[in-house]
Amino acid sequence: MKKIAIIGGGIVGSTAAYYLSQFDKKNEIQVTMYDDGVGQATKAAAGIISPWLSKRRNKKWYNLARDGATLLAKIAKNTNMNKDIYNQCGTIITRDSPKKLNELYQKAIERNKETKTIGDVYQLDAEEVKYQIPLLSKSVPGILVTGGARIDGAKFAEHLKDIAKLKNLTIINKKVSINNRGKIQLGDDELAYDNIVVATGAWMRNTLDNLPLKVDIRPQKGQLIEISVNDLEQNKKNMPVLMPEGERDFIPFNDGRLIVGATHENDQGFDLKPSNEVIDDLLASANRLVSGLNQDNLIKIKVGTRAYTSDFAPFFGSIPNYSNIFVGGGLGSSGLTTGPLIGKLLANLILKNKKIDLEQYRKPINNYIQSNL
């Protein structure tokens, strides 16, 4: 019996657990997940899956995000995922000038040639954007890609863990670390596993603190607000998500909720307290596109901590000098898109299932985790 531990039950850990349960055809794997859930970015995340028109120039990141979006659609189909978890409702990205809009459209056409997950591509005028999202009191022209999706990170992770628990996953809601012998430390108990996956996001440095390693991880605070739009006559079902130029992302859900955000705050450390100033800013952004919203529409505030690296690129693989310990982190704001593919790749690496060209997706892990020995 192969014993595997996963530390962290967010987007990477939950997907790794799911694939370890799917790859276990002969009941030869036992998986234990340790997760205290504090500050987890996935639990606070409702996001947009639409990487194809990103301004980022990192080719390896784009490959990871592009194939991550394709994998997400496959997971949703294969696991009969409800649309309140993952919904391929389309994404509209707006631009404030005809030149910028045409450049974006041409980029979308080119990206459509290399991946069909992007779906159909349409150039919309302001009235057509408003037709797609009637909530908008102000709209500008944009590009619609029908393959874009919205995702509820917390529900996604729970859905996959529930499937894995039916096969070979046990979850322990306690905080653990790696001790100086490379074992799991749970209180006074040292626990040995054949392989360990560390997927603790911004807390990875703390998890690995007892090992002689230098870890390039820093926290970034993210806040978003959830607004009720049930009382607006313009509300309709299955609206696309919106990435408006110069404003926060808008994610409308079918049950009359609108998510606005999230922020990217680099100087707040691990602070998980909502900020009134930020909430006012998010509400003001919402009001610039949907008039009439105020504090009475506010349902809840979500706060999480993302993990970033110094060059804003994610990393994954086995740790230098500790070949049985695997990590996946530094995902930043693209975690809901890239995390599932990283989780699957880690499961493959542990079980040596497939020969995959990992270098198309990552820079050397030594760029982010270095031995101090």
The domain locations on the chain are 2-43+154-217+311-371, 91-147+219-308
- Same fold: 2-43+154-217+311-371 with 91-147+219-308: no
CA distance 209 to 246: 39
Q: Which of 177, 192, 293 is nearest to 235 (CA)?
A: 293
CA distance 159 to 67: 21
Please name the helix (run of DSSP H) or strand (run of DSSP E) that holds residue 22, with its range, or none.
helix 11-23
- HSE-CB for 140 with a 13 A CA cutoff: 15
Fold for 2-43+154-217+311-371, please state it.
FAD/NAD(P)-binding domain (3.50.50)
- Judge whether 39 and 369 are in contact, CB under 8 Å: no
Model pTM score: 0.94
> Tens of pLDDT along the chain (373 residues)?
899 999 999 999 999 999 999 998 888 999 999 998 775 666 666 789 999 999 888 899 999 999 999 999 999 999 999 998 999 999 999 998 999 999 999 999 999 998 999 999 999 999 999 999 998 988 999 999 999 999 999 999 999 999 999 999 999 999 999 999 999 999 999 999 999 999 999 999 999 999 999 999 999 999 999 999 876 655 667 899 999 998 899 998 877 889 998 888 888 888 889 999 999 999 999 999 988 888 888 999 989 899 999 999 999 999 989 999 999 999 998 999 999 999 999 999 999 887 788 999 999 999 999 988 6
Reduced to 3 states (helix: H, G, I; strand: E, B; else coil), residue 205 is helix
What are the residue ranges of helices labelled H in 36-186?
Answer: 59-78, 98-114, 126-132, 153-165
CA distance 235 to 255: 10
Q: Which of 94, 160, 157, 155 is nearest to 128 (CA)?
A: 94
Classify strands 177-178 and 369-371 as parallel, antiparallel or unpaired. unpaired
| 91-147+219-308 belongs to CATH 3.30.9.10 | yes
Reduced to 3 states (helix: H, G, I; strand: E, B; else coil), residue 222 is strand
pLDDT score, position 292: 86
pLDDT, one tens digit per residue, over 317-361 is: 999 899 999 999 999 989 999 999 999 999 999 998 877 889 999
- HSE-CB for 296 with a 13 A CA cutoff: 4
**Token digits of residue 242:** 């919106």
